[in-house]
Amino acid sequence: MRRAFVLMISIIIGAAVVVGAGLGGYWYWKSAHAKARTSQVPSARELKQLRVDLPANTTNLQDGLIQFTLSLQAHDEQTKTELADMQPQVEDVVNRTMRGFSAQELRTQAGVTRLAGTLKAAINGVLPQGRVDAVYFATIVVQ
């Protein structure tokens, strides 16, 4: 009888410890992720400080010309410094990438969106450590 009572108390205490650990873990996980979500969203001022504006450019397409002004959203200060230090290489990658598109393709929103994604991947390919989060066209004229 005493043995059954001790076993029952041990099971109840064990279950309470497991439930308490689960609730504590859930509370910790939820608060840690809430802090991470709020700290990962940069403000407009922070985004502006991490933007790199490239000079206006004109380059060839497969069947025409394109005039554009490009802004790159650097992921962090290190990336912004890399972009400034590697500006000639970045401009070369941009020009080579543009030559793979046709004027007809870039007259559509889908084509410009695809171009922005392709440019982002190409630029990230030449950066040794940093990364570009977005590519923005301030102006774009296809001829």
pLDDT at position 27, please? 84
- pLDDT tens figures, 3-35: 888 888 888 888 888 888 888 888 888 877 766
Instruction: Tell me the one-letter amino acid at 100.
Output: G
Based on DSSP, count helices (H) and strands (E) in the chain, helices before strands. 5, 4
Helix locations, 41-132, DSSP H:
44-49, 77-85, 87-98, 109-126
Beta carbons of 120 and 135 less than 8 angstroms apart:
yes
Sorted by where each begins, the domain ranges of the chain are 1-41, 44-142
67 pLDDT tier (thresholds 50, 70, 90): very high
Pick the closest to residue 137 from 79, 85, 66 (CA basis): 66
Q: Which CATH architecture has domain 44-142?
A: 2-Layer Sandwich (3.30)
Can you give the pTM of this predicted structure? 0.69
Per-residue pLDDT, 73: 94
User: 38-42, 70-74, 80-84, 120-124: lowest mean pLDDT where?
Assistant: 38-42
